[in-house]
Chains A and B, each alone.
Chain A
Amino acid sequence: MKSNYLINDNIAVFTLDPKDKQFENMGLEILKISKKDFFYHAIFDLTLFDIISSEDIIFIEKLVHILKLHHIDVIVCNFNVYSASIIFHFIDDISFKTELNVQKAIDVIKNNKKK
């Protein structure tokens, strides 16, 4: 796995690397990390994606679904403006939660925890 990650307060922030699209066991690898480092929430940071294609969305949705099976809540963030403005010409909808940036995603998770 080329993507970097950081775990703090049961929240894992993964800076997804576009090269990992080729890595078939990405979901499995993240689940292994969750077992080892114990996190309930994951944030997927898309900063490294210059352009987000429909294939990338399928890749992210697959990861989100795998983590959902283990009750790990995922928020995807840092979509760039260009990709966000064109992606819905190619796909109908997305099924995962989104936030503007990592900080906002962490705020949402922490607020939900308080509730």
Chain B
Amino acid sequence: MKNKIEIEAELKKTRLIIDAQPNIVIITDGEKLIDANQTFLKFFGVKTIKDFLKKTDCICDFFINDGSNKYLQKVYPDGTRWIDILINEPEILHKAMVLNIDGEKTIFEVKANKLISNDGIDYGQDVVVFSDITTMENQATLIAEMEIPILEINQNTTLIPLIGILDSVKSQSLMENILISIKEKTTNVAIVDIEGIIIVDSAVAAHLIKITKATKLMGCTTILSGIAPEVAQTIVNLGINLDGINTTSTLKDAINLSKILENEK
């Protein structure tokens, strides 16, 4: 059996470990803050939890809803509380947008666990960890908002270098931009370079196939370039059929092929 001094020393040590965390760690019953670490106090510019509780009961009062439904809300229209969502859907990436003391928006990845002891005692409280992902989120938004350039190689050929992630929204807008460019510049060959695409899965391949078919409708031949060996293997393993689509491993090969296709016309 440990004596009182030993237990107090252990508690202090545990407290120090929690306070040293760069992430915000809190204990809550979903409505009222029970405990929190130093990072939490620093974020909200208060010295003690009592100071925070003088302002409001719950961190959820600082959640911002930008209308996108991407971020946690204090209470959902069906009455579900934010903490219930976190506990019931642990496999989903939950994000919260919170205002700090300077009025700046900070985006957190939020994870929660029920506070249950090793011998199964449920304290009716939850441990919630808020990890700051603002920089990552801002970068992701910036990349998503960057318009894909359509570069003119010569009078009849354009180059579209793709980077990052190709989702359905980006793909549809890309397709429209390529088609407008074909119409305006009377392009015969479009080279879509996919070397900068992070993941090429069946969804991305389907987008690329649609783009290729749509350009063909406008009388333009599309070449998919920059297909790395790993991507080629993935395409075959996924059973994706790229028959009838011109593909090359490098941009250099694609430009050479575009000249041949141009002469054929």
Contact = CB atoms under 8 A, between A and B. Distances in A.
A100 B220 contact: yes
Contact of A81 (B172, B180, B210): B180
Contact of A85 (B176, B219, B265): B176
Contacts of A77: 219
Contacts of A111: 265
B218 A79 contact: yes
Given A81-B179, A108-B265, A88 B210 contact: yes
Contacts of B183: 81, 100
Interface residues of A, number: 20
Interface of B is mostly: helix
B179 A84 contact: yes
A88 B182 contact: no
B184 to A, nearest CB: 10
Given A79-B217, A79-B218, A81-B180, A104 B186 contact: yes
Contacts of A93: 213
A105 B188 CA distance: 12
Interface in A62-115: 77, 79, 81-82, 84-85, 87-89, 93-94, 98-101, 104-105, 107-108, 111
A101 B185 CA distance: 12
A82 B217 CA distance: 12
A-B pairs with lowest CB-CB distance, top 6:
A99-B219, A100-B219, A81-B179, A84-B217, A88-B210, A84-B214
B175 interface: yes
A98 B218 contact: yes
A100 to B, nearest CB: 4
Contact of B216 (A82, A98, A101, A108): A98
A81 B180 CA distance: 6
Contacts of B217: 79, 84, 87, 94, 98
Contacts of A81: 176, 179-180, 183, 218
Interface residues of B, number: 18
Interface of B: 172, 175-176, 179-180, 182-183, 186, 210, 213-220, 265
A111 B263 CA distance: 11
Contacts of B175: 85
A80 to B, nearest CB: 8
A52 to B, nearest CB: 9
B180 A104 contact: no
Nearest to A96: B217
A100 B213 contact: no
Contacts of B219: 77, 98-101, 104-105
Contacts of B220: 100
Contacts of A79: 217-218
6 contacts: A81-B179, A84-B214, A94-B216, A100-B183, A100-B186, A101-B219
